[in-house]
Structure 1
């Protein structure tokens, strides 16, 4: 089995979200289970058809054990590899390998978090070399990256604000988005600074919510409800854990993993119809677009300006509103897969990108610590 041999060997056949925004009285497992029920129904399957589990929460040390018990599933194969918000895209590659190897047939990838209610990430690990200064991640670390990018390349706060405004415009087209009030660049610039140069509106939401996708083989997908969305390629890269160990504050591991994912899928940037990028902060989108080579390093701020990534723009990015305006229950990665799937199915409603055939879903873990790029496609891309 090689990376290229996995192209087209798995499909996403079911998707579901549950309890987005605020879900009083529901635990992270409740939210995970609600999303799972919707994904299983969306696929036209039953829980008994699931024989593989991936996923996690913010609060469970042994997540797949807890998930399986809660759902009443005894999986043949499970994986709870945790790299932060990028984990669930990495799980898609691992599920593909497990299915192709015959270890299981149908994999649930699921996540749930009641972060809005809990008010805490539930993370007790403080990085060794930084704990004397307090918690440097996530906000202060991203602010440092944004500040360095501004210093090196002349990126402006107004350019970063373009990312937030575009996300809000997309969110206004999604019936389940958390934030829909009109937003302008001036609104973003006027919002309080929380870690210079990032303002409150440069930062993702803190919400409740669950998400789930069902993955199976192309052969099994033929008998199910929706036209399948194929996994064409994927790759991850890890460069650091602590903010103090980031090798380059203006470049992320995306610069390494995205080219490998594109090569596996057999595509270039010109083939991509829509992107779902993990926008924990506005600077993320600018740096990811640079590192994926949609523009040159240092030109990301100008690239996103003028509505290029907003509705009606030349490059649709985060068409559900992203973590900035749609939802962000602690880890957002699985939602990138769900929105990419909806776009490739052609059922995204008012936000649908016409004739979308190839979508990028990209996850980010910790503070630009681990990145994972997944390439998804419709049947015409095989």
Structure 2
């Protein structure tokens, strides 16, 4: 049994744009976490930070700003996999005695020039090979993946729309979500086209914000009420998928071991949070995790999703809550922790004992380079 417990998580309300710098958002998340959990910040001795725009500052600078004395610190800029990568390392740090109380934070607040610079220089491949071709952002790459996915599985645009509408219904009950207005299938299908077949609502909206999570050694946790246990966590750099068609992630390789480590089956999961920068990648990850079922994708998107038979991205996901840069890699994790801890108010699930959370990110050439997943369990 893991010696690490997650005490809780917070997400400061995201904003469509911000004049405040990233450090401001991360600081707000840290303060909100300490306040909600009634925890003394002086006890925090570990800090992990994921951000694209905190630079040139890093985790150690953020620790200084927050007045922390840390024995463990870590920076992560691996996009959609960063939150779970931090979690994996933080659990190891606590269980090997490197720290007793670790805060993990993720967030970004892009100014227009910041976002353009990130897109142009995301990595060497983007800078040297994709930018000269006029591929300005991932929309083009994932439009091609969506085309292949539609053809392979016999899906229609409206099938992807069912995912988007389902998440918007969840967002309507999430006061922190940026996009909460009711959406119809006509709204989805008639939205401006971005890159065929992707429309406006298929592409994750950029916002400003931050998330924070507190982990402690179980011996230090006191009352375990509202705490969450990490039953398993794994990550993978999947170089081989760049030789394929992009319709499988590293999750397909790590999922069997992940569930075996947790001693659970996909059918045992109550809540699912998958990284949702585009609907196609939501479906790909669900398949890789073994959560679609034997009936196949058509039945899944035409019956399971619209009928609410799966608790999927119950915050509204990034497609409705927004993507605050690397906070997108911690957004689903934050929601799962809050659901399992019974802290989701109006949108609280009647049954939330187990959850699986995935992350996927760092696009190179055509596809994401890394994936990660964790299985969490509410502490009785």
**What TM-score, normalized by structure 2, do the two folds share?**
0.90
**Alpha-carbon distance between aligned partners in 2 of 1:296 and 1:61, rounded to the nearest angstrom:** 46
What aligned pairs does 1:239-258 form with structure 2 within 5 A after superposition?
A: 239-240=238-239, 245=242, 247-258=244-255
Question: How far apart are 1:75 and its partner, in Å?
Answer: 1.3
Question: How far apart are 1:324 and its partner, in Å?
Answer: 0.6
Counterpart for residue 69 of structure 2: 74
Q: Which runs of 5+ in 2 are unaligned?
A: none
**Alpha-carbon distance between aligned partners in 2 of 1:378 and 1:296, rounded to the nearest angstrom:** 25
Counterpart for residue 269 of structure 2: 272
Q: 2:301 aligns with which of 300, 304, 309?
A: 304
Counterpart for residue 346 of structure 1: 342
**Alpha-carbon distance between aligned partners in 2 of 1:219 and 1:157, rounded to the nearest angstrom:** 51
Please state if 1:211 is matched with 2:211: yes
**Alpha-carbon distance between aligned partners in 1 of 2:137 and 2:258, rounded to the nearest angstrom:** 27
**What TM-score, normalized by structure 1, do the two folds share?**
0.90
What aligned pairs does 1:20-99 form with structure 2 within 5 A after superposition?
A: 20-22=14-16, 24-59=18-53, 60-61=55-56, 63-99=58-94
**Alpha-carbon distance between aligned partners in 1 of 2:209 and 2:243, rounded to the nearest angstrom:** 30
Question: How far apart are 1:137 and its partner, in Å?
Answer: 4.5
Does structure 2 retain, via aligned residues, the 8 Å contact 1:16–1:35? Answer: yes
What aligned pairs does 1:151-166 form with structure 2 within 5 A after superposition?
A: 151-166=151-166
Matched pairs, number = 369
SS of the equivalent of 1:362 reads: strand
Q: What is the root-mean-square deviation of aligned Cα atoms in Å?
A: 2.2
Question: How far apart are 1:246 and its partner, in Å?
Answer: 5.1
**Alpha-carbon distance between aligned partners in 2 of 1:144 and 1:252, rounded to the nearest angstrom:** 16
Q: Which runs of 5+ in 1 are unaligned?
A: 1-6
Please state if 1:143 is matched with 2:140: no
**Alpha-carbon distance between aligned partners in 2 of 1:155 and 1:246, rounded to the nearest angstrom:** 24
SS of the equivalent of 2:373 reads: strand
Does structure 2 retain, via aligned residues, the 8 Å contact 1:58–1:330? Answer: yes
Inter-CA distance 198–192: structure 2 relative to 1 (3 Å threshold): same
Pick which of 149-158 and 288-297 moved more: 288-297
Question: How far apart are 1:116 and its partner, in Å?
Answer: 6.4
Question: How far apart are 1:227 and its partner, in Å?
Answer: 2.2
Question: How far apart are 1:186 and its partner, in Å?
Answer: 2.0
Does structure 2 retain, via aligned residues, the 8 Å contact 1:289–1:300? Answer: no
